[in-house]
Amino acid sequence: MAERNVDSATDADLSRLASVDLNLLVPLLALLEERSVTRAARKVGLSQPAMSHGLNRTRRLLNDELLVRQGRGMVLTPRAAELIVPLRQALHQAATIVTGTSFDPAVDRRLITVAMTNSTAFVIGSELSRLLAERAPNTVLRLRTTSVTTSAAFAEDAADVVLLPEAFPTPHPRERLYDDRWVVVASWNEPKDADALELLEKVPHVFLDEPAERQRPYEILDEKKIQYRVRQRVSDYLFIPHLIAQSGGGVAIHRYQVGLEFEGRFDLRVEEFPFPIEALGIDMVWNPWLADGPFKTWLREMLIEAAEPLRARYLPPG
């Protein structure tokens, strides 16, 4: 009896779906992603009047405004924001059914979105770009530099995967890609016999201006009542080592992998952070709605290969 009830519910759902114009779904996704009738129309090859007409029909169908004007732009209603992820998933599965083809990187033309911080993009972005250009020449790689939570990156930015620092929480499964940690970066113009703690105490700091959360190394310095002086505040994290090297002085707390990149290009020294501190590895966090298993497996292999030079050069502290 239970199975018959389930089948009846499914049949009822299909019956209701048969009365819906499914041609509205592709323009709807374009509207939700672009938040502009003009851009959405261009994206799917419709005229602007046809797109506006489709939006009005969808609003009546769903009994929701979906897009509302706010200032000079358009914003999504709460219902519309909830639709983005399941709509992407449904349309991708539908496309797979229609084409009947499996993932082939040699001919695939999809947009591949990898979200990460700008520091992570700096150390792995070029190698990942090189690999994808070589193995999947028709795809487009979008490196989305962001510090937003993973859920927003998946829903708003359509990220296939987020490369997330270990300290950042996520409700989704994660897998280590490469290791990293905090280090002290200074110019070689500073006293060469000074250790890391002396550099932090005596040399003016170049500091990340107004980070979303206070960096853990500075929390530790404050807890241990270490006195330090901030000379400059910089909004771009990657500009800090360059500024120290080019201005001929200063100290900063940065990431090991970034420090190694700059150490080989500029006159910089990299010292271990002088106190015990949590690790700062980079993890892969996959879009939980990514339904294309073969593509996900292939992209994971590409990321692991791109990170191999970073894993090979990583030396544990001490």
- Name all domains of the chain by residue range, CATH numbers in brackets: 21-99 (1.10.10.10), 111-179+280-313 (3.40.190.10), 182-272 (3.40.190.10)
d(CA 96, CA 77): 29
Q: For residue range 98-132, what is the model confidence (pLDDT) as tens digits?
A: 665 678 999 998 899 999 998 999 999 999 999 99
Region class of 210: left (phi > 0), else alpha (psi between -120 and 50), else beta: left
> By mean pLDDT, which of 127-131, 177-181, 234-238 is the weakest?
234-238
Q: Is the pLDDT of residue 222 over 70?
A: yes
**pLDDT above 70: percentage of residues in the chain:** 88
What phi and psi, each to the nearest 5 degrees, are found at residue 88?
Answer: -60, -45
What phi and psi, each to the nearest 5 degrees, are found at residue 164?
Answer: -110, 125
Averaged pLDDT for residues 79-91: 80
Residue 204 banded pLDDT, cuts 50, 70, 90: very high
Q: Is the pLDDT of residue 312 over 70?
A: yes
Residue 81 banded pLDDT, cuts 50, 70, 90: confident
Q: What is the pLDDT of residue 316?
A: 85
pLDDT, averaged across the chain: 85
Q: What sign results for the dihedral spanned by CA atoms 259, 264, 265, 267?
A: positive
- Averaging pLDDT over each range in 21-25, 213-217, 257-261, which range is the top one? 257-261
Q: What is the largest distance, in Å, between two alpha-carbon atoms of the chain?
A: 82
Q: For residue range 8-67, what is the model confidence (pLDDT) as tens digits?
A: 456 666 566 666 677 888 888 888 888 888 888 888 888 888 888 888 988 988 888 988
Instruction: Provide the whole-model pTM.
Output: 0.73
Q: What is the pLDDT of residue 18?
A: 63
Q: For residue range 158-177, what is the model confidence (pLDDT) as tens digits?
A: 789 999 988 888 888 999 99
* DSSP per-residue string spanning the chain: -HHHHHHHHHHHHHHHHHTS-GGGHHHHHHHHHH--HHHHHHHHT--HHHHHHHHHHHHHHHTS--EEEETTEEEE-HHHHHHHHHHHHHHHHHHHHHH-----TTT--PEEEEEE-HHHHHHHHHHHHHHHHHH-TTSEEEEEE--S-HHHHHHHH--SEEEEETTS--SS--EEEE---EEEEEETTS-TT--HHHHHHHSPEEEESS-SS--HHHHHHHHTT----EEEEES-TTHHHHHHHHHT--EEEEEHHHHHHHHTTSSEEEEE-SS------EEEEE-TT---HHHHHHHHHHHHHHHHHHHHH-----
Name which of 235, 232, 280 is nearest 252 in CA terms.
232
Q: What is the pLDDT of residue 212?
A: 58
